[in-house]
Amino acid sequence: MPDADAPAAGLDFRALLDRGEGARAVAFRLGGELHGCDIRLVEEVVTKRAVHPLPDVPPHLLGVLLLRGEMVPVMDVAPALGLSLDAAVPSILVIGLGDARLGVAAEAVHEVLEVPADAIRPAPHTGGDRDAYVLGVARLKIGLVNLIDLAEILRERTTLDRGDPS
C-alpha cells in the first residue's frame, strides 16, 4: 500500500486536488451539509461517547474525549464554515496533526469516498471565511460534498488560540 500512496504522501489535500488526480475523503455531516476531508488525517471515528466540557475555554472547544486513557480535545469547526453543529452527542473524527491528536465534532460520519477528478468543481465564493477552507465541491452518488481543508482549519484555530492572551 505505501507504493500506491507514495507520490501523494507529502502533498496536502489542496495540492492533491490541484494535481487533478482525484482523492479519497471521509464524508461527514456538519450544519446539515455533507463535507469531505482528506482521509490521511483521520485516525479513527468515535461515536456515542460523551464529550466532557471544560470550564473557561473558547466556545469552539467543546471539551475533551476520554479515549483509551488519553484526553483528546474536541473542537467544533462548524463556525469556521459559517455553520452550526446540530448534534446532542456528536460523532468525533479523531485527527492526527503532527504529534497532536484532536477531535472534530460532526453530526454524523458517513463513509470513505473515492472522489474522481472529473467530479470536482470549483467551490462557489461566498465572501466569508468559508472560501479559505472549501477547496471544491464534488458531485457524487451520496450527493454534493464540500471538500474542505480540515487541517488548515485546525492549524489556524489552534495557533490563534495559543497566541491569544485573553
The predicted structure's pLDDT at residue 156: 86
pLDDT confidence of residue 163 = 45
Cβ(80)–Cβ(133) under 8 Å?
Answer: yes
Model pLDDT, residue 27: 97
Nearest to residue 33, comparing CAs of 145, 147, 119, 121?
Answer: 145
* Cα separation of the two ends of the chain: 46
Residue 159: predicted pLDDT:
57
**What distance in Å separates the CA atoms of residue 88 and residue 3, rounded to the nearest whole number?**
41
Q: Which residues does 133 contact at the CB level (< 8 Å), separation at least 6?
A: 80, 81, 148, 149, 150, 152, 153
Collect the ranges in the chain with pLDDT lower than 70. 1-11, 159-166
DSSP one-letter code for 57: -
Q: What is the pTM of this model?
A: 0.84
